[in-house]
Chains A and B, each alone.
Chain A
Amino acid sequence: MSRLSNTARIYLAIVFVILYAPILYLIFYSFNSGGTMNSFESFTWEHYAAVFEDTRLIVILINTVLVALLSALIATVIGTFGAIGIVSIKNKKLRGTLLSLNNVLIVSPDVVIGASFLILFTLIGVKLGFTSVLISHVAFSVPIVVLMVLPKLLEMNSSLIDAAHDLGASKRDVLTRVVLPYIQPGIFAGFFLALTYSLDDFAVTFFVTGNGFSTLSVEIYSMARAGISLTVNAISGLVFVATILIVVGYYFILRRSAKHTEVEVRA
């Protein structure tokens, strides 16, 4: 470990300041009693109060969290079993094809995903709203879960499964008591990534949301297009706190499962 030179320290410091400044700037002015993001008049909670008094905003917040939790959960189930299925495929070509198809939605630009899902939903007659948004979020989260679970499955020693079989475990037991506990860190990582992808998604939701249903990202977009509103700043304060809590919770869970299985923690 060589010590960093002063220039290097200053460079890193500048990068950190630039990365955090806009977020702190938003939060700072969320306490401003003046209506702008330019001059701070006096401290106030009124913008936070405005968020909680606005029932429409609260409904949107609940919707956003609900879509995120549900889609992450469903995607985790589909993705985990998908990964188990992929590993069981012995034909190399078929496996490679499935993996390429898996990655399509990860490298696809979200505008293309949104546009093509809009065509799909319109054709098969899914009403645009909660259902279409939820289905889309499940759809783009599945491949991430697969990518998180797959390495854990591949590094698993197959003699563990053979041993379980020899000791008389049923197929069900092998799955629930050997395979799933072993790949648990991957499943958690997949779930949390799916959660953050869903919470952060704007473009796909924007295409398939229709009228009457909105998530936080789409709502902030329309508020931002209308100009500066310190309610948005208050929302960022809340989102920032929630994000920090999720990050801390995520690392707490990773740490714990890492202690149990003694596998390396992937940052």
Chain B
Amino acid sequence: MQTRTRGSLIPYSLWIAVFVVAPIVLVIYYSLLDLNGNFTLDNYKNFFSSSYLTMTLTSFWYAFLITLFTLLFAYPTAYLLTKTKHKQLWLILIIVPSWINLLLKTYAFIGIFGLYGPINAFLEVFGFEPTQILFTDFSFIFVAVYIFIPFMILPIFNALDKMDRSLVYAARDLGASSWTTFRRVIFPLTIDGVKSGIQVTFIPALSLFMITRLIAGNKVITLGTAIEQQFLVAQNWGMGSTIAVFLILIMVISMLFTGNRTRGGRVR
């Protein structure tokens, strides 16, 4: 058994070496090269210049807002779902939209938020002038929250579902108000679910580039947009790699923070 199972590790270890270790090493290596392939630290100097720092901070700010709103809407939803009859069925119904191709869902909002779209038609009934909702911060954050919400609900639902209900009853019997029960019992017991939800939202939100292009109309530049720009438009792989190194660092920090308990989906 030993020798055979060790043998089964060979393709897997090769996969790790070629597609996990090598890409990271290559990205770090390229971040040290200039456009002509000479070693330089200029990319890092550039990165810490004001324009890139502003972009990084804005990117963080948007990712923070997206994660916050996703959590604010996802937690009550997950909580109420655990209280429904047939909760597994309702959960599946929440998850199904997340399996529809991401691009299609984003495309839908181009129509919905458009100048002559249903939202503007609805506002017009109340006497508002049609306004361009597309290409605003609001539309960008709304669509991102829409995309991420099922991925936040899932881990929180699982955490709430595993929680021992009698602890809640005990808190109520001992005189805690429902808010205190939530703050001191329910939320601390489900914090792991919240953490993995934040992890599957925050980092992808930092690196979004498709939604920024289609919905925010290039007005919002995230770290992801910048990488795509450097690699595919400017062909400056060195600078693109430098930003990627930065994203990898954030990822490592978040892995340490959440203690490697990653389960759940990735969002493209």
Contacts and interface: CB of A to CB of B under 8 A. Distances in A.
Contact of B104 (A89, A232, A247, A251): A232
Nearest to A219: B103
A140 B23 CA distance: 12
B225 to A, nearest CB: 9
A23 B150 CA distance: 15
A38 B111 contact: yes
B56 interface: no
A118 B231 contact: yes
Nearest to B204: A109
A225 B27 contact: no
Interface in A28-80: 29, 36-38, 77-79
A203 interface: yes
A98 B240 CA distance: 28
Given A107-B262, A224-B103, A85 B9 contact: yes
A87 B92 CA distance: 31
Contacts of A243: 96, 99-100
A207 B240 CA distance: 13
Interface in A179-210: 196-197, 199-204, 206-207
B24 interface: yes
B108 interface: yes
B244 A107 contact: no
Nearest to A18: B146
Given A15-B73, A109-B207, A115-B244, A142 B15 contact: yes
Interface string B115-147: 011100100000000000000000000000010
B111 A37 contact: yes
A15 B95 CA distance: 12
B80 A12 contact: yes
Contacts of B101: 199-200, 216-217, 220, 236, 239
A84 B20 CA distance: 19
A200 B99 contact: yes
A244 B100 CA distance: 9
Contacts of B237: 115, 119
Determine chain B's interface SS by DSSP, over half rule: helix
B62 interface: no
B93 interface: yes
B193 to A, nearest CB: 14
Interface stretch (B39-47, B64-72, B183-191, B247-255): B247-255
Contacts of B114: 37-38, 228
B241 A115 contact: yes
A144 B93 CA distance: 22
Nearest to B23: A116
Contact of B23 (A12, A113, A246): A113
A200 B268 contact: yes
A202 B210 contact: yes
Contacts of A88: 1-2, 5-6, 8-9
30 contacts: A4-B83, A19-B97, A22-B109, A25-B111, A37-B112, A37-B117, A38-B117, A79-B12, A100-B260, A103-B260, A105-B19, A109-B207, A111-B223, A112-B227, A113-B23, A116-B23, A117-B19, A118-B231, A140-B266, A171-B4, A200-B268, A206-B228, A216-B101, A217-B268, A220-B107, A224-B110, A236-B101, A239-B100, A243-B100, A251-B92
- Which 4 pairs, one residue from A and one from B, show the smallest C-beta to C-beta distance? A82-B12, A85-B9, A109-B207, A116-B23
